[in-house]
Structure 1
Amino acid sequence: MSKDTAAIVFHDASVSLAGRTIWSRGNFEIPTGSVSAIVGTNGAGKTTMMKVELGLIPLKTGTVKVLGADAGTHNNRIGYVPQNYAGDIDSNLTAGQSVLLGLNGTRFGIHPITSKQRERAYQAMEFTGMADKVDVPLSELSGGMRQRVAIAQALVGKPDLLMLDEPLANLDLASQRETVHVLARLNREFGMTIQVVAHDLNMLLPILNGAVYLLDGHPHYARMNEVLDADLLTHLYGTTVQVVTTPQGDMFVTPTPDEPQDTTPDTHSPAEAARFHNHVHDDLRRDNTSDSSGRNGTGSSIQ
């Protein structure tokens, strides 16, 4: 897919569950070859959005196109890492066996594993730094190692789009850095489009081009220089947030220290939210396709 073509396109999209609207009026494009996050408070509908993009949850209104077709059509070109990966599979499986599920896990019955499939699994594990753990049971691996096995399983099918739900949750700092390093290499070396559901942006900031943020029940996409705004993030999370820049030019997001305990959580009216984004249906005409990082990845799969 050309980098000039959006990887994900929302048009007037809304979704409801059990009769309750989760979010609505989604109008945005996520560029091919970008690394983006989905951010918002608990219950805002972040995981729901990713499942909509996978065609697992139907829309109430509008359309969502993924890799040029209706959501769910090209899932064979998408690698997906769920938040509870380790809980979804048998921990007695070896790391290598679990990666092979990315090739044959949807088939019923017993199927022979070809040498080509084993080689693809090994390449994916080698890329994520897990090749030496191929015969180790998942139950014996650390959380960070299991996360990299999960990414290898998603990569073994050579996807164009990699989607990860809270990949850094419950990992220590070193494991978070290792996971982010793998994602950075995938984007830099293969031009892979990556989308991550995230609570904390800080570890991901060096690789993010933009973010979908769920504000007042409406999803919006913006480049990171627009998202990293203290006022917007304060509205988004309902508590005072600072965006700090170090002398070296690095940025990080942090709550304001010494906030009085009796401070009323920030709330935002539609008029206030409108200062950040205009709720109109011609948002798709906005140019959200530029890659602020200037990366030049040309491929879209592991060779």
Structure 2
Amino acid sequence: MTVSAEGPAGEAPPVRLDRATVRIGARTILSEASLTIPAGAFVGVLGPNGAGKTSLMRAILGIVPVTAGRISVFGRPAGRGRHDIGYMPQFHGRPVPRLDGRSFIAAALHGERWGLPCDWRPGRHRRHDAAEIDRVLDLVGAAHLARRPLDQLSGGERQRLLLAQALLGRPRLLLLDEPLASLDPLRAREVVALVQAIRSRLGIAVLFSTHDLNPLLGVMDMVLYVGRGAARLGPVDEVVTDPVLSALYGTRVEVIRGGGRIFVVTDG
């Protein structure tokens, strides 16, 4: 899929950072970072543990404020309540036994936009809400999970429902925070293929955070590496190199390629 910095008819790009600085307490997540996420791009977001991948996504959502500079989403300053962004947070909690798949998605329509739902009871949603739930279930291939209790689903099946939640409201940008966490390699490949199919079908931009870039090879258009307050965006072959990652990690890094995989080895 070809990507360009601007969308149709010169539309502003999904995400633009202009000398953006983001701090949480005394910790600097980004320092005067400037980059542009092109329209329709599939971007893998990587970096060492604690580098701030989640914080960057929360800054794009407007949850974490920008200390200096600017983060814009489709030409407007990042801020809460954006319906053109779909967000899939990391899911650490235990499934709610009383909820089935359909109820879980329905709760996000009029409860919490991102994360665990608030109270929802079958029959409360209107007819167009039911159609929207059917639409996102179909998009993620999860119609068969609609009446299954959450606590009886596998990790991969729950990820499909979380992705369905993120697609409510027809967003133009998807932020996926570690959707492969705790999945075995087969289920991880299935999730990546599903996200790629949805991206191609809807023509939306995707920021996909992960600790391992290998599942995204051949799918992502660009990689965004963050570390030590800096960010580097570009094609894999330009960013995933010894000098670039050594600077971002703050230690000597060796990038090893073999068997169609990439391994990042650090001295520390």
Q: TM-score, normalised by structure 2?
A: 0.85
Q: Which amino acid aligns with 2:53?
A: K
SS at match of 1:213: strand
- Asked whether 1:175 is paired with 2:187, we answer yes
Q: 1:134 to 1:234 in 2, by over 3 A?
A: same
- 2:44 and 2:57 map into 1 onto residues whose CA distance is 11
Deviations 1:93-114 (A, max 9, x none): 1011111123222498768212
Unpaired runs of at least 5, structure 1: 257-262, 266-303
SS at match of 1:79: strand
SS at match of 2:93: helix
Q: 1:106 to 1:217 in 2, by over 3 A?
A: closer
Displacement after TM superposition at 1:234 (Å): 5.1
Q: Which residue of 1 aligns with 2:79?
A: 72
Q: 1:88 to 1:218 in 2, by over 3 A?
A: farther
- 1:128 and 1:15 map into 2 onto residues whose CA distance is 33
Q: 1:89 to 1:11 in 2, by over 3 A?
A: farther
Does the 8 A contact of 1:91 with 1:139 survive in 2?
yes
SS at match of 2:157: helix
Unpaired runs of at least 5, structure 2: 1-5
Q: 1:225 to 1:2 in 2, by over 3 A?
A: same
- 2:206 and 2:156 map into 1 onto residues whose CA distance is 19
SS at match of 1:90: coil
Correspondent of 1:241 among 255, 259, 266? 255
Once the two structures are superposed, the pairs formed by residues 139-288 of structure 1 within 5 Å of their partners are 139-233=151-245, 235-237=247-249, 238=251, 239-244=253-258, 246=259, 251-255=260-264, 264-265=267-268
Does the 8 A contact of 1:36 with 1:196 survive in 2?
yes
The structure that has the greater radius of gyration is 1
Q: Which residue of 1 aligns with 2:43?
A: 36
Number of matched pairs = 253
Q: Which amino acid aligns with 2:237?
A: N
Farther-moved stretch of structure 1 (221-230 vs 93-102): 221-230
- 2:267 and 2:173 map into 1 onto residues whose CA distance is 41
Displacement after TM superposition at 1:174 (Å): 1.6
Farther-moved stretch of structure 1 (159-168 vs 217-226): 217-226
User: What is the identity percentage for the equivalent residue pairs of Structure 1 and Structure 2?
Assistant: 32
Does the 8 A contact of 1:229 with 1:243 survive in 2?
no
Does the 8 A contact of 2:20 with 2:70 survive in 1?
yes
Q: Which amino acid aligns with 2:63?
A: L
- 2:142 and 2:119 map into 1 onto residues whose CA distance is 28
Q: Which amino acid aligns with 2:26?
A: G
Does the 8 A contact of 2:139 with 2:198 survive in 1?
no
- 1:167 and 1:137 map into 2 onto residues whose CA distance is 20
Q: 1:92 to 1:234 in 2, by over 3 A?
A: farther
Q: Which residue of 2 aligns with 1:62?
A: 69
Does the 8 A contact of 2:95 with 2:151 survive in 1?
no
Farther-moved stretch of structure 1 (30-39 vs 99-108): 99-108
Does the 8 A contact of 1:51 with 1:57 survive in 2?
yes
Q: Which residue of 2 aligns with 1:90?
A: 96
- 1:52 and 1:264 map into 2 onto residues whose CA distance is 31
Q: Which residue of 1 aligns with 2:30?
A: 23
Once the two structures are superposed, the pairs formed by residues 39-50 of structure 1 within 5 Å of their partners are 39-50=46-57
Displacement after TM superposition at 1:156 (Å): 2.3
Displacement after TM superposition at 1:208 (Å): 0.8
Q: Which residue of 1 aligns with 2:111?
A: 105
Displacement after TM superposition at 1:223 (Å): 2.5
- 1:234 and 1:60 map into 2 onto residues whose CA distance is 26
